Amino acid sequence: MKAVKFDYNMSKVLLRKLHLGSKLILVQYKDCWSEPEIKYPNQVIAQTIYGGICTSDLHQIFLESSYYISIMATKARYLTLGHELVAKITKTGESVVGLEEGDRVTYNPIPHCETMGFKPCPSCQRGNYEHCYCLVGQGDGSDLEKQYNDAGGFGGFLAGGFGERFWGFGKQFHKVPENVPSEVAVMSEPFAVAIHAVARNPPKESDLVIVVGMGIIGLLTIAALRAFGHANRIIALARYPFQAAWAKKLGADEVITERKPAVLYQKITDMTGARIFQPVLSKKVVFGNLGADIIYDCVNTEASLDDDIRLIQSSGKIVQVGLGYVYTKKVDWSIPIYKELDVVGSMMYGMQVIDGERVDPFELALKFFSKDPEQYNGLMTHTFPIEEYKQAFECAEHKGKHEAIKVGFKYGEQG
């Protein structure tokens, strides 16, 4: 089987950390990896059609992620990356219901309690699958957990989009509506991320909204706001004209592509009516209750976060959807205190409470896609065969250079 796998080899990790190894030292391509097998009756094997490349995949490959996530590391040495995917079911375990061979599906990479057959942990009882103890290798203490541990243990996120075939638990899969093309369905996972961020942190009716970063998550955050029926004025911050065009198409009212901080600050204050002031020996800062009410930061670098806390009005809210930094060195964290800001994180997805009912964000993503699939067609701008993984990663890393939105691997409807 052809696949690109991440190699949890500590000597290679050390070389990479010392900048003595190449950027791709921790990934390995082979055309002869062993085929995935069903080990438990609740598992499924699927054949990949498209596998998207997420920025978090690049962070993992380049070892740019926080050490915090080491508690969620897989027990296996080799892991097939790629959690954004659409595939066809080729084989199901005997206890899997609702899925049949040939079904076209998308995939939730979180193996939470229900998927594995455990009694729900405290996080799963709340619908917070993104905080399930299964991710850190803990179950319910049952004989089933012992079986999993005897077979090599569990923990971490599951994936498979960087390979021709992969396995998962039956309850991780969601059927794709017939009218949704595979090149749209592959973006169900990033859409679920955006849906989670908006559902957990919806704007008030009168709120002025800014969405920072017009990569796939930022664009789909705008789409999620509109799909939920929010009619707020939305200002999008993009780096490139091709991103700006997509932002307008998906529902942004205005787009700013300015990069120079001084000009950017002036444009935002002019457009939002905010009052801006100049502290001594520091960058300008908005003060008072005029201006943007809520910012969804879908880049979330140290620089963008510093801009967020300065440009949002006092008592505003910043939703950190992206994960472009680990530690900060220059952010003045006294500003959120002085301005009484809410700064909240949003990570992946669980069950969302919509109109008093729990709803799966993947099902919502597919529902929104199904209403108007043509609106999203073309967001996947670049595809590569898995053999060209180096070119694919380079394209995904330098999206501006290639005018790329979503980059991924294409295997074809039949794999």
For residue 74, the model assigns a pLDDT of: 85
> Which tokens in the block code for residue 30?
């082979």
For residue 413, the model assigns a pLDDT of: 59
Q: Clarify whether residues 102 and 239 are in a common domain.
A: no
Q: Clarify whether residues 107 and 38 are in a common domain.
A: yes
Q: Clarify whether residues 363 and 386 are in a common domain.
A: yes
What 3-state DSSP class applies to 398? coil
Q: In what order do the strands lie in the sheet with 3-7?
A: 27-30, 3-7, 78-80
Query: Is 350 within a domain?
Result: no
Low-confidence ranges of the chain (pLDDT < 50): 414-415
> Which tokens in the block code for residue 260?
């120079």
Q: How many CA atoms lie within 13 A of 174 on its CB side?
A: 25
Q: Clarify whether residues 131 and 267 are in a common domain.
A: no
Q: Clarify whether residues 169 and 107 are in a common domain.
A: yes
Cβ proximity of 50 and 384 under 8 Å: no
Domain boundary among 315, 345, 375: 345
For residue 412, the model assigns a pLDDT of: 72
Domain boundary among 345, 379, 395: 345
pLDDT in tens, 328-385: 998 999 999 999 999 999 999 999 998 889 999 999 999 999 999 999 999 999 999 9
Beta bridge partner(s), residue 228: none
Closest CA to 230 of 215, 214, 211, 216: 211
Query: Is 351 within a domain?
Result: no
- Alpha carbon distance 286, 314 (integer Å): 8
Q: Give per-residue burial for 382-409: e unless 16+ CB within 10 Å, then b.
A: bbbebeebeebbebbbebeeeebbbbbb
Query: Is 415 within a domain?
Result: no
Q: Clarify whether residues 184 and 59 are in a common domain.
A: yes
Q: Clarify whether residues 292 and 201 are in a common domain.
A: yes
| CATH code of the domain containing 185 | 3.90.180.10
Q: DSSP class of residue 36?
A: P
For residue 325, the model assigns a pLDDT of: 86
Q: Clarify whether residues 182 and 232 are in a common domain.
A: no
Domain that holds residue 46: 3-189+358-410
Q: Clarify whether residues 291 and 394 are in a common domain.
A: no
Domain boundary among 323, 345, 367: 345
Q: Clarify whether residues 251 and 182 are in a common domain.
A: no
Q: Where on the phi/psi map is residue 287: left (φ > 0), alpha (ψ -120 to 50), or beta? A: beta
